[in-house]
Structure 1
Amino acid sequence: LLYGEPRPRFGVHAPVRCPNGVAVFARDVETSQQVWSAEVGYPGNALYREFYRDIGWDLPLDYLKPHLHKDETRRHLGLKYHRISGRDVPGDKKQPYIPTLARAKTAEDAADFVGKRIKQAYKLRETFAGHPPLVVAPYDAELYGHWWFEGPQFLDYLFRELHYKRDIIRALTPGDFLDSNLPIQIQQPSASSWGENGYYKVWLNEGNSWMYPYSHDAERKMTALGDRFANPTEIERRALNQIARELLLAQSSDWAFQIYQGTTVEYSSRRFQSHIHRFNLLAAQIEDKNIDEKMLVEIESRDNIFAEIDYRIYRS
């Protein structure tokens, strides 16, 4: 948005509207860092629960066996008895987790967050000639409760604090802001992403570029089959819907992302290849009008996401 044409009059603190009518809201960097960052943000506080100390790794294996899968492999079990204790405290030196202290800290952090938003809004309003500044604060849902165990408590206290100070600052959705009918600048935002450096190298680089020829080939084939089978039989319809599922699963951005991150390269590569393989297998059977129903049932049970999918959305 900041690099769009023309430049936004209010920076990231007001939405713009694209020429096609779509409203665009930009994330506030300061607010994002304050919550997302484990280094400088709230989740890294010493009193909060330590994510990486889990009884699945801490306790003796014989004690854990009744609670593990049949392979008796250690894994995260979700019970974590330690707090972060400090940025430089090694894992084996973490202190016991005390829920009451952590909960009190979430109330303190929520009040701090709201206080900083009020100061930020007053400062912005001075330069906006009276136009009410908007601070957009979107976060991945998995942060609250998963990575940051106390995150839901923080949200609870946050909205209580916002309600208490509702005469100064107000929580609202993008839709609420648009309903206010304030004038919105027309602008064409620059292409960008949330990935590293703000563009697309996370999803397209020398480590994962091999994936895209397979994806594009499947996309073209999906469109061609959608066009060809206007009136499919019941089993053809099921198979066409299933290859649509396989295509969407293959296109999940997580596979390319995780390959770039180097975290689960083998798993991500295997998942992508398996969906492309099942797509091509069923597509060939559809083209030959020789669908193996037993195989189709097995694939349907394995990859059963998007129950209401309709392959016809791919028709040209």
Structure 2
Amino acid sequence: MTDSTAEPVPGLFTLVLHTHLPWLAHHGRWPVGEEWLYQSWSAAYLPLVRVLRTLAAENRRHLVTLGVTPVVAAQLDDPYCLQGMHHWLANWQLRALEAASTRSAEPGASPASEPDALRRFGAREYAEAERELDEFDTLWRHGGSPVFRELLDGEVIELLGGPLAHPFQPLLNSRLREFALREGLADAGARFAHSPTGIWAPECAYAPGMEAGYAAAGVSHFMVDGPSLRGDTALGRPVGDSDVVAFGRDLQVSYRVWSPKSGYPGHAAYRDFHTYDHATGLKPARVTGRSVPSNAKAPYDFDRASAAVDVHVADFVETVRDRLTAESARIGRPAHVVAAFDTELFGHWWYEGPLWLERVLRALPAAGVRVGTLSDAITAGYVGAPVELPPSSWGSGKDWQVWSGEKVADLVRLNNEVVDTALSTVDKALAHRASLDAPTPRDFVADQILRETLLTVSSDWPFMVSKDSAADYARYRAHLHAHATREISAALAAGRRDQAQRLAEGWNRADGLFGALDARRLPGP
């Protein structure tokens, strides 16, 4: 759809969203655990789909390049998670009803929790919860895959895949790295009936030579952070002597939205993420001011927030236009600008984020900015000369320190030990079965060993420890899955297959994601 009413600017703009959470089902509820999934689902995933469906109804296409990691896709399709999400939405509506019916304030409550303000806020929350319950019943009750498949069929989005369980690939054994990537791409193809050719490399992490593995797996493009390309992100760049293209996040544009010091979500009019009404668990306050304590926060005012969204949409559009114009002039040809964010920013962390997305995706074309996907960029020739990429990530320092530094040295050792144990055990188990005079059958025990190993090496655990964000939970999860791997492997290595089978079945009840994972496809040593 073309709706430009302004002088067109050269080049192409791409919005990339990275949707990821670790496997949370069956592993705690609050303050870290399933609640994290349900909050993100209700605040970010449902609103994002609503925005995309609304824009698709306006005949808008090629809007967003959307990364959905296999572990998120698994949870959005999981019957247990679907039931839990429905219960969570109903509970949200009940809490909103409680807020709308409040008659007195708790001692020391903020102005936002005063009865009149809370009643108004509760009525609005009740209506939102009712809308999401209706949407969930209509669109989501059979899982997220049909929802995203419809957007893919309609060419509203481009899908990015990724490796199973989101490992930090540069530090991962090459055999398991290849297995996780191939299985992850196959998982996406099975769920969405679309096999992604692009991936969001977990943590945008890269090590020299990884492009060869990408090419072998059928990956044509992947994301890195801007500094990996030394800030020159105006074109995608083939890596080394491969045809695999690396796209870099434009930090100047991306940080306009998501900067701790000056990003949009910190505006005084927006809903405050950190301030709760303790009686209902709702968030009825606005930011008010960066130095204003929680007990002094003003009540949330949607109309005030909506006006701020308009200001920030206009600012972002101007930023993109200026950046495309400047970069095109610098390189002497139309440039490509990529802004990339975690999907969960839009709604979960920044309540007004989905509204901003809807308005900005209308405003950009109206302002003469062409919007397209990463695949569109390749097709249209927004690709420059080959480049040699350094070891890098999008974490602190843009290197690997978050996942390999001193604070997580014990987890690095744990990962290496567990992977070695798992691969050795699985190799022996499969070799034994292959030696029998019959086709090698699927090995449930070997499958579960690899499943628990992949959960052990998830990049989330060292990230949470390095950032001191629920670090105890992260260490617990890493060691829990390591224990599961070792326990099943020890029984199998000792020849106690019946016991190994029972252990694998027990762990699978909590960690039964990636049902198509097949250890027989593990690359040989």
Q: Which amino acid aligns with 1:140?
A: D
User: Measured at CA, do residues 282 and 162 of structure 1 come closer, stay the same or move farther in structure 2, by a change above 3 Å?
Assistant: same
Residue 331 (structure 2) aligns with: 128
- Cα distance in 2 for residues equivalent to 1:182 and 1:36: 25
Q: Distance in 1 between matches of 2:227 and 2:470?
A: 34
In the aligned structure 1, how far is the partner of 2:488 from the partner of 2:440?
A: 15
User: Quick one: which of 90, 95, 99 aligns to 2:298?
Assistant: 95
Aligned equivalents of 1:180 and 1:139: distance in 2? Answer: 23
**Cα distance change on mapping 1:185 and 1:48 into 2, 3 Å:** same
**Which of 403, 410, 413 in structure 2 is aligned with 1:203?**
403
In structure 1, C-alpha distance between the alignment counterparts of 2:250 and 2:311, rounded to whole Å:
22
Match of 2:510 among 280, 284, 302: 302
User: Larger deviation: 294-303 or 220-229?
Assistant: 220-229
Shift of 1:238: 1.2
Q: Deviations over 1:214-261 (max 9, x none)?
A: 322222233333333153799981111111111011001111111112
Equivalent residue runs for 1:58-73 within 5 Å: 58-59=278-279
User: What is the one-letter code of the residue matched to 1:154?
Assistant: W
Alignment check: 8 A CA contact 1:162 1:170 kept: yes
Rg larger for: 1
Structure 1: state its 5+ residue gaps: 65-76
- SS across alignment from 1:84: coil
Superposed CA RMSD: 2.3
Q: What SS does structure 2 have at the residue aligned with 1:119? A: helix
Summarize the Cα distance change of 1:234–1:107 in structure 2 as closer, same or farther, 3 Å threshold.
farther
CA distance in 1 between counterparts of 2:402 and 2:466 reads 6
Shift of 1:156: 0.1
Letter in 1 for 2:406: E
1:147 — aligned with what? 349
Q: CA deviation at 1:126?
A: 2.2
Per-residue CA deviation, residues 180-227 of structure 1 (Å, 9 max, x unaligned), is 135521111111111111111111122211122332222223333333
Match of 2:134 in 1: none
CA drift of 1:134 comes to 1.1
Distance 1:161 1:289 in 2: 65
Identity of aligned residues (%): 28
| Count of equivalent residues | 291
Q: Does 1:28 align with 2:250?
A: yes
**Aligned partner of 1:11 among 232, 250, 257:** 232
CA positional deviation for 1:39? 2.2
Higher strand share: 2
- One-letter amino acid matched to 2:507: I
User: Comparing both chains, which one has the higher relative contact order based on Cα–Cα distances under 8 Å and sequence gaps of 6 or more?
Assistant: 2
Q: Which runs of 5+ in 2 are unaligned?
A: 1-223
Q: Which residue of 1 aligns with 2:116?
A: none
In 1, the alpha carbon distance for the partners of 2:396 and 2:382 equals 33
Contact 1:114–1:161, Cα closer than 8 Å, also in 2: yes
Alignment of 1:185 with 2:371, yes or no, is no
Q: Is the 8 A contact 2:237 2:385 kept in 1?
A: yes
Q: CA deviation at 1:107?
A: 2.3
User: Does residue 447 of structure 2 align to residue 241 of structure 1?
Assistant: yes
Partner of 1:69: none
Q: Which residue pairs with 2:340 in the alignment?
A: 138
**Within 2, Cα distance between the matches of 1:158 and 1:289?**
61
2:237–2:383 Cα contact (<8 Å) kept: no
The CA distance in 2 between the partners of 1:312 and 1:198, in whole Å, is: 36
Secondary structure of 2:255's counterpart equals helix
Q: 1:109 to 1:170 in 2, by over 3 A?
A: same
Secondary structure of the 1:25 match is strand
Contact 2:419 2:453 in 1 (8 A): yes
Q: Normalising to structure 1: TM-score of the pair?
A: 0.85
Whole-angstrom CA distance in 1 between matches of 2:453 and 2:383: 41
Q: Is the 8 A contact 1:16 1:24 kept in 2?
A: yes
Deviations 1:131-159 (CA, angstroms, capped at 9, x unpaired): 11111101001100100011000000001
